């Protein structure tokens, strides 16, 4: 008689999980070696992953890579490696590496290490701008920023994709605290949009997307979305996705995952196709006809000309600016969130 295996019923308390399923892609290191730290296991696992690649990818430094806090260089990209236990729900990121723009990492790789089983799981990668965006709202513990492990996406495959496909300049370095301040001080020239150029930092930190309007029919169709653009010549459109996540105003990629989404569109207009002389701002719900969240506030000013509206049962708010040499300042606010301030926009000059 074999001792019967009792099947639990729905009313019984959950049995504690004693073992974790090993994730696909986990790197199993040889047993019996003595590893000094989680980091030394993670470095060994990273080397093993790189060794399995057909084309060798240079990893540096050659000596001292195991030293805690030291930045790595992978195929010319500055990489910060952070480690935690395999069952960890949060990782600590040392702020020190992010204090200077010239030395900040371009990529942040999270390795979850099981020292008891010599197993390493690369949970994923954050780019510098993704990290800065998370760090702005993350909790801190001393000199560390706490990031949820599930914020790291794509496993080691994402790392291999980014370091092999991107040019290093495509991943700018951002310093903590100063990244947003810098971009907010930097003037964005609207005339550049017409030439298909959008400031990289503006694009990465705010998720701004540019649509050059080269085709006449397309121009007309875009202009028709704006109430006051009927007689204007639309030249370029920049959109910033916005959303509310847990009652907080969010932008860019983060906004795209929100249920309540809206968009700030900025339409450059002008009779001279190479020199815009007007800017239309439109805040509208992401879904046509949907209402904007009440109490959302948009302010825009150019010199002494100030415009501000607070949403109350509206599906659209529009502001117009024409001419003027002064910079246009735009900000959005929502109760309980910090204000979202755009970099100053320069219409002429």
Among 145, 162, 175, 249, the residue binding another protein under the rule CB under 8 A is 162
Q: Does 21 bind another protein (CB under 8 A)?
A: yes
With b for 16 or more beta-carbon neighbours within 10 A and e for fewer, the 215-232 pattern comes to: eeeebeebbebbeebeeb
Count CB neighbours of 331 within 10 A: 15
> Which residues share a beta bridge with 90?
148
Instruction: Tell which positions 79-108 bind another protein, by CB under 8 A.
Output: 84-90
Among 28, 68, 227, 290, the residue binding another protein under the rule CB under 8 A is 28
**Least CB distance to another protein at residue 117 (A):** 5
> CA-CA distances (angstroms) from residue 317 to 102, 131, 242, 274?
40, 32, 14, 27
The separation between CA 7 and the C-alpha centre of its own chain, rounded to angstroms, equals: 46
Q: Does 161 bind another protein (CB under 8 A)?
A: yes
Nearer to another protein (CB atom), residue 80 or residue 112: 112
Segment interacting with another protein, rule: CB under 8 A, options 32-40, 65-73, 228-236, 341-349:
32-40
The DSSP-derived string for 51-90 is HTSSS---EE-SSSTTSTTPPEEETTEEEEEEEEETT-SE
Nearer to another protein (CB atom), residue 89 or residue 312: 89
Q: Does 5 bind another protein (CB under 8 A)?
A: yes
The span from the CA of 165 to the CA of 153, in Å, is 17
Rg (CA), the chain: 25
Among 60, 154, 324, 344, the residue binding another protein under the rule CB under 8 A is 154
Q: Does 288 bind another protein (CB under 8 A)?
A: no
By CB under 8 A, name the binding residues for another protein.
1-3, 5-8, 13-25, 28, 31, 34-36, 53-55, 84-90, 112, 114-119, 121, 123-124, 127, 146, 149-150, 152-155, 157-158, 160-162, 164-167, 170-171
């Amino acid at each position: 008689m074999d001792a019967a295996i009792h099947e639990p019923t729905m009313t019984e308390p959950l049995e504690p999980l004693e073992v974790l399923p090993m994730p696909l892609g986990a790197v199993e290191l040889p047993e019996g070696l003595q590893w000094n730290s989680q980091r030394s296991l993670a470095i060994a696992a990273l080397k093993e992953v790189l060794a399995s690649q057909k084309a060798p990818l240079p990893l540096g430094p050659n000596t001292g890579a195991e030293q805690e806090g030291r930045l790595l260089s992978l195929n010319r990209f500055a990489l910060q490696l952070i480690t935690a236990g395999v069952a960890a729900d949060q990782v600590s990121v040392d702020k020190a590496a992010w204090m200077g723009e010239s030395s900040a990492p371009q990529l942040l790789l999270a390795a979850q290490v099981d020292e008891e089983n010599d197993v390493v799981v690369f949970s994923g990668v954050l780019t510098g701008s993704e990290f800065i965006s998370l760090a702005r709202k993350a909790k801190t513990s001393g000199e560390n920023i706490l990031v949820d492990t599930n914020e790291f996406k794509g496993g080691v495959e994402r790392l291999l994709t980014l370091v092999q496909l991107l040019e290093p300049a495509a991943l700018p370095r951002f310093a903590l605290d100063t990244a947003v301040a810098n971009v907010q001080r930097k003037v964005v020239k609207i005339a550049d949009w017409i030439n298909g150029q959008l400031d990289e930092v503006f694009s990465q930190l705010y998720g701004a997307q540019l649509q050059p309007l080269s085709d006449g029919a397309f121009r007309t169709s875009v202009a028709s979305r704006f109430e006051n653009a009927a007689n204007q010549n639309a030249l370029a459109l920049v959109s910033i996705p916005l959303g509310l996540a847990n009652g907080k105003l969010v932008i860019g990629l983060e906004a795209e995952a929100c249920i309540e989404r809206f968009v700030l569109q900025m339409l450059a207009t002008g009779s001279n196709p190479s020199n815009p002389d007007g800017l239309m701002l439109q805040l509208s719900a992401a879904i046509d006809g949907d209402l904007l969240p009440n109490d959302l506030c948009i302010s825009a000013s150019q010199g002494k000309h100030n415009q501000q509206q607070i949403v109350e049962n509206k599906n659209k708010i529009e502001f117009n600016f024409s001419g003027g040499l002064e910079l246009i300042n735009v900000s959005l606010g929502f109760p309980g969130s910090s204000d979202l301030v755009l970099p100053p926009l320069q219409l002429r000059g």
